[in-house]
Structure 1
């Protein structure tokens, strides 16, 4: 008699981290933080846009080695909610539309050879690379767009080696390099995107400016009232000394109407 043994399926884990401490330069961290916060803030009213940074994207169910971790990525058509990682098959097969890598000489091979092939296969519509240190990219910001299943370069509007901009059709934003600094710009308004901290600092500066203006107005009003009180007292003294309204007006270089406005109809 043959005895069949039921084999329990092996549960595959999809870690949210590789267990290794993440080492990155201040420059890489700062620009990654700016990019994800600014773009996330820009799309905060959209419930169907997910923005994340440096998290694992698993793109083959049952294969936890089929994974990539972009510096910054944006997905349209999925819920805007927090995730430990992004599993394509749990998101209806929807893959990222936009990827930005903060690249350097140490990640050159992955960013230039390995990742583009993965992103192309996943259908990532736009892939940008930013090399803040200028280690190997010239210009230091470059982008490609998926056309007929192949990546084609996105034309750069060059001003100088470290001052240029490219347009993202996916985000409908401009990626600007200004003296080497990466910033996202809204073409319709000409405004550059800010992080939460920068937004708060901007609001604080506006509030301080408003309070300073209000204080200056109050001081000016107090000075005006004090001067008016002094002038009224002088006019009263002159009128009480026997001078006529016309004489007082001529003495202090005011019209009779203005003098009467100071003392009323008592004189």
Structure 2
């Protein structure tokens, strides 16, 4: 019996059926990376995503192979420099000027195995990633692979603090685990810290408006139109 070729929706689904994270710590790390990387690159042409399926090559069914194997990975966080931000159900590289993610991050969970991580490393090396970083928050184990010209160089805790050549963010290890910093030295924030920062800015603006209103009232009492100043 001849099988019908798969549809593009079946070949390139937007979900692999796997959860984004297996525990709260892994989830918090993924969200922290994505949100801070978006903030870092907000003034550049760059696409940042978390747990998004990346299809590096287009695979077309043939009569001999109606159900071909489609290479794919869903990095916990990825950065694509040179592609605009915006909605995507998945990242199909051939529809993105064939630009591969240049930097990827993987946050390990207890179920991840060394062979699984090695397979991810090979995939990323094969399909154009230039920097890849792996962190196990429970074991506090960090490593990376960086492409320099045509060679790959290991980054381990012995290299820390380490600065990403492409993003200029800095990785450092402390007693309570890994920390990531903006190029200006500011640490990556959690969503809660972002919310607190926004609340503080709003409170300062509200207080400034109160002071302006009070000054305008004083000027009016003195017979001065504040709108003319």
Scaled to the shorter chain, the TM-score interval is 0.7 to 0.9
Counterpart-to-counterpart distance in 2, 1:156 and 1:52: 26
* 191-200 or 118-127: bigger deviation: 191-200
- Is 1:120–1:150's contact at 8 Å kept on the other side of the alignment? no
Q: Which residue, 44, 53, 56 being the options, matches 2:50? A: 53
Aligned counterpart, 1:144: 145
3-state SS of paired residue (1:67) = coil
- Is 1:34–1:195's contact at 8 Å kept on the other side of the alignment? yes
Which residues in structure 2 correspond to 1:1-267 (within 5 Å)? 11-13=7-9, 14-21=12-19, 24-46=22-44, 48-62=45-59, 65-134=70-139, 140-154=141-155, 156=157, 164-187=160-183, 189-195=184-190, 197-205=192-200
Unmatched segments (≥5 aa) in structure 2:
60-67, 211-229
Shift of the 113–144 alpha-carbon distance from structure 1 to 2, 3 Å rule, reads same
Unmatched segments (≥5 aa) in structure 1:
1-7, 159-163, 216-267
Query: How many residue pairs get matched?
Result: 197
- Is 1:76–1:96's contact at 8 Å kept on the other side of the alignment? yes
3-state SS of paired residue (1:68) = coil
Name the Cα RMSD after superposition: 2.9
**TM-score, length-normalised on structure 2?**
0.74
Aligned counterpart, 1:260: none
Bigger-Rg structure (1/2): 1
Post-superposition offset of 1:145: 0.4
Counterpart-to-counterpart distance in 1, 2:192 and 2:110: 30
Post-superposition offset of 1:190: 1.8
Counterpart-to-counterpart distance in 2, 1:64 and 1:44: 36
Post-superposition offset of 1:18: 2.2
Counterpart-to-counterpart distance in 1, 2:192 and 2:175: 22
